[in-house]
Amino acid sequence: MKRTSLHPLSRIALLLTGIMILAWGFNAILATNHIIIGGLPGISLLIERQSGFDPALTQWLVGIPLLGIGWMVLGRQSTLHSLTGALVLPLAIFVTRDWFRLPVENAMLAAIFGGFTCGLGLGIVFLANATTGGMAILAQIVSRQLGIPVSRCMLIIDGIIVIAAGAFFGAEQAMLALLSVVSLSKAIDVVQSGLGSAKSVTIITKQKEAMREMLLHHLDCGATLIKAEGAHSGESRSLLVSVVPRNKVARLRRHVRRVDAEAFTIISDASEVLGYGFQNHG
């Protein structure tokens, strides 16, 4: 699989699509059902619930100064990735504030689906090699100054927002906020890496030839063969590494048991498979 760079128009289309999905999920599900989420959108919802101040305006008032600080601290190139998203997202939130609102009685459903919808939008923005600015810029600044990984900085920021939701509106709101953050994170993973369409398989066996034959001809999967040795016994073993489409995993298990019932097998998710030689058959 060869990944090519996006055409500028395709990147703009992806960015705007992601922003509109994010804005709609924010308004129609989260804001409508009073669910807090992480990042600057979550802060804007906290402020709205406390003072009635418009979330879109809050995001502009906070986001634009953060862009300026980011430009000075992080440099022009890093900030440019956030510029369009940071300016357009508040506008999209303002435009979509009355679009197809979805009030629900079950707050947990609102937290899950609201977070997931926003995560889908944000994941698409990331595919366009952009961000929506806001707290992501702050996290990068803190990371550069203190040497803390950006992901940990974002976790701390989102944690503070969740705690604030609990302090202002009670423990139930904090739990719903946490649920929306987790759902958003999972949706981003789905957009970035897919649904785990392939499995990484490692087989340690004494039946090298039979196992190789099974992978190559019965499952039509390539494999890499590595000579190995048991750490405790010192016996010679063979280690086969392969990537197997999800719909062939059950057949793989049956064939491995048939070929070598004592084989040590590890099957795990392959979030992304790059390079020639693998095709997803379903």
Q: What is the pLDDT of residues 1-27, one digit of tens each?
A: 334 456 778 888 888 999 999 999 989
Q: What is the pLDDT of residues 93-108, one digit of tens each?
A: 888 888 888 788 888 9
Q: Under DSSP, is residue 105 helix (H, G, I), strand (E, B) or coil?
A: coil
Cβ-Cβ contacts under 8 Å for 49 (sequence gap 6 or more): 34, 168, 169
- What single letter denotes the amino acid at residue 272? E
Write down the pLDDT at residue 128. 80
Q: Torsion over CA of 116, 120, 122 and 123, rounded to 10 degrees?
A: 120
Structure tokens at 204: 């340690």
CA 56 to chain CA centroid, nearest Å: 24
**Cα distances (Å, whole numbers) of residue 226 to 31, 74, 148, 221, 235:** 54, 45, 38, 16, 14
- Its pTM stands at 0.68
d(CA 22, CA 96): 10
d(CA 62, CA 250): 52
Structure tokens at 181: 């953050």
Write down the pLDDT at residue 196. 58
Contacts 24+ apart (CB under 8 A), 152-161: 154/38, 154/39, 157/38, 157/39, 158/38, 158/39, 158/42, 161/36, 161/37, 161/38, 161/39, 161/42, 161/43, 161/46
Q: What is the pLDDT of residues 198-209, one digit of tens each?
A: 788 999 998 889
Q: Which of 21, 27, 28, 46 is nearest to 36 (CA)?
A: 46
Structure tokens at 226: 């590595």
Q: Domains of the chain (ranges plus CATH)?
A: 8-193 (no CATH), 198-270 (3.30.70.120)
Q: What percent of the chain has pLDDT over 70?
A: 91
Q: What is the pLDDT of residues 35-69, one digit of tens each?
A: 888 888 888 888 888 888 888 888 888 888 888 88
Considering Cα of 183, then 189, then 191, then 196, what sign does the dihedral take? negative
d(CA 247, CA 243): 12
Write down the pLDDT at residue 239. 92
Write down the pLDDT at residue 241. 92
d(CA 28, CA 111): 12
Q: Is there a contact between 44 and 59 (Cβ–Cβ < 8 Å)? A: yes
